[in-house]
Structure 1
Amino acid sequence: MATLQDRRAVLLDIDGTTLLGTGALPGARALVDDLRERSVPLVWLTNNTSRSRDAWCARLADAGFDPRPDELYTAGDATIDFLKGKDPRPSVWLVGPPGLADDFTSAGLVIDDAHPDVVVLAYDTTLTYDRIARTAHLLQAGLPYIATHPDPTCPDPDGPLPDVGSFIAMFDVACGRRPTVIGKPEPAMIHQVLARLGVAPGDALMIGDRLATDIRMANSAGVPSCLVLTGATSAEDVGHAPAADRPDQVLASLRDLLFRERGPPRPL
């Protein structure tokens, strides 16, 4: 079993693992402090594309963290990298919030509402029926179709909220189309980050709350994994998971990870 003490990098999910709503989950700040004290690289990996990179950094800062820009890699970033690798670079009909559109244009991509080359479906918390209808018509016309991630719901203190996976299901019913998925659980997302860090998959640790995204991605990439039960997954879910989605270890929270290795964590 991988331990924190022998890891050369830690990859940490946000919603349901580090944060729930706007607040830090138990042990999250203490874990980040521990990694910083030991100079272990940390990267937050999130599928949540409902906000810009700057907004994500601000949200983490408001919860008591001090993230650097290079410590965050989102499914939006992975989608941008994917599209920038295309030749010629396509113009985009983006189903996503304004902050994500800003990230796309800042990266040199063109948002084209009139004559796009590709449809990109993200976690759009500003989605209107007019944009749903326009997206359906573009999909029915046969445009290439990409989704930033497949999560069906996003954890929220008042209960799960519809996420991109729910949107995917809606367009599947209406248009008979399924997208190419870029973010977790695709292993390319984790390989991109580890290559940048210069860390081998077996020397990292992925910590998340979702079996079908966080843990499946880690297993596909050969990265040891830890599931925490503070988000989308219950202990009963773990018992019914297929082999591809089974974590190397299961803990109630990040607090328990530190408790197991170093004794009770510092007060939050």
Structure 2
Amino acid sequence: MTTTVRAMKGLLIDLDGTLYHGSKMIDGADRLITYLRDKNISYRFVTNNSASSPIEVANRLLSMGIPAKQEDICTSAQATAQYIAAIHPHASVYVIGESGLHDAILEAGLDITEDKPHFVVQGIDRKLSYERITQAVRYIREGATSILTNPDLLLPSSDGLIPGAGSIGAMIKAASGKEPVLIGKPSTILMEYSLKQLGVERADTWVIGDNIATDIAAGIAANCGTLLVLTGLTTADNMDYYKSVAGCKPDLICENLDELLLTVSNYYAGNPNEQ
């Protein structure tokens, strides 16, 4: 498969399903990130997760044995807060979400309010009440801009799948009659935020993930190279189905993280044909 990208100078790497499952590291994740650090290859971990702060995400990775620091993390919550601050500094925001989203909103200089907000921001909220959904819908119908951190309908948990931010968003959208601004993958907003943090030209940046509909679609939309790893949602058996559903396909496919490491080493050295 051919691509216009000839080197891997920067990587935007998905987390859940790509480097770990739940609280368990996928084999080779530690070796991959150690290699990137040793070779000074620029990378960022890019996650649709809005519930956790960057330091919490980094600590979770470290607990699994994957090298990480706070500065490595780009979350949909951070991208959401920066998006709002850029178009409306010091805006008032009604938040449906967990601590990571609240922290990002405040760090961006925005005001969290319960009354007449400029924006309604919604992410995953595992303690959500019907009353808060009702209030969010009313504010949106009254003119507040609706923002959805990420469209994930389901999330893995220790005892099975649970409804994600996208499932909550579907209810708010249906009741308010308003389409939300989408921040997380496959939107380009999170990708543009992550590219800025990465500091590498998009022509030399690759997006790596296990989900064609989010990771790969986002990479294509951002004009980056795309590499699918068959470590999570997408497998050799269901790949054709997900390609059809997503309406796109990756530039490269790796079966596991050791194959990914070899591919990165060859592309970074400018020898893509040696993978």
TM-score scaled by structure 2? 0.85
Alpha-carbon deviation of 1:118?
0.9
Alpha-carbon distance change, 250 to 161 in structure 1, aligned in 2, over 3 angstroms: farther
Distance 1:203 1:136 in 2: 42
Alignment correspondent of 2:43: 42
Distance 1:61 1:145 in 2: 35
Query: AA paired with 1:90?
Result: A
Alpha-carbon deviation of 1:42?
1.5
Bigger mean CA deviation after superposition, 168-177 or 79-88: 168-177
Query: AA paired with 1:211?
Result: I
Is the contact made by 2:30 and 2:67 (CA closer than 8 Å) also made in structure 1?
Answer: no
Alignment correspondent of 2:255: 252
Alignment correspondent of 1:169: 170
Distance 1:195 1:60 in 2: 22
Q: Counterpart of 2:121 in 1: which secondary structure?
A: strand
Is the contact made by 1:16 and 1:155 (CA closer than 8 Å) also made in structure 2?
Answer: no
Is the contact made by 2:97 and 2:124 (CA closer than 8 Å) also made in structure 1?
Answer: yes
Distance 1:55 1:46 in 2: 13
RMSD: 2.5
Alignment correspondent of 1:54: 55
Is the contact made by 2:33 and 2:67 (CA closer than 8 Å) also made in structure 1?
Answer: no
Distance 2:183 2:49 in 1: 12
Distance 2:28 2:159 in 1: 21
Query: AA paired with 2:219?
Result: A
Query: AA paired with 2:248?
Result: D
Bigger mean CA deviation after superposition, 37-46 or 107-116: 107-116
The question of 1:131 aligning with 2:105 is answered no
Q: Counterpart of 1:155 in 2: which secondary structure?
A: strand
Tell me the alpha carbon deviations over residues 30-66 of structure 1, each in whole angstroms, 9 at most, x when there is no partner: 1101111111011000011121222112111211123
Bigger mean CA deviation after superposition, 233-242 or 177-186: 233-242
Alignment correspondent of 1:105: 106
Alpha-carbon distance change, 88 to 46 in structure 1, aligned in 2, over 3 angstroms: closer
Question: What are the residue-to-residue correspondences of 1:1-268 with 2, within 5 Å?
Answer: 6-156=7-157, 158-240=159-241, 241-242=243-244, 244-258=247-261
Work out the number of aligned pairs and report it.
262
Structure 2, unpaired ranges of 5+: 266-275
Alpha-carbon distance change, 12 to 163 in structure 1, aligned in 2, over 3 angstroms: same
Alpha-carbon distance change, 244 to 219 in structure 1, aligned in 2, over 3 angstroms: farther
Distance 2:146 2:196 in 1: 27
Is the contact made by 2:29 and 2:66 (CA closer than 8 Å) also made in structure 1?
Answer: no
Alignment correspondent of 2:271: none
Q: Counterpart of 2:87 in 1: which secondary structure?
A: coil
| Identity score, percent | 33
Distance 1:141 1:186 in 2: 26
TM-score scaled by structure 1? 0.87
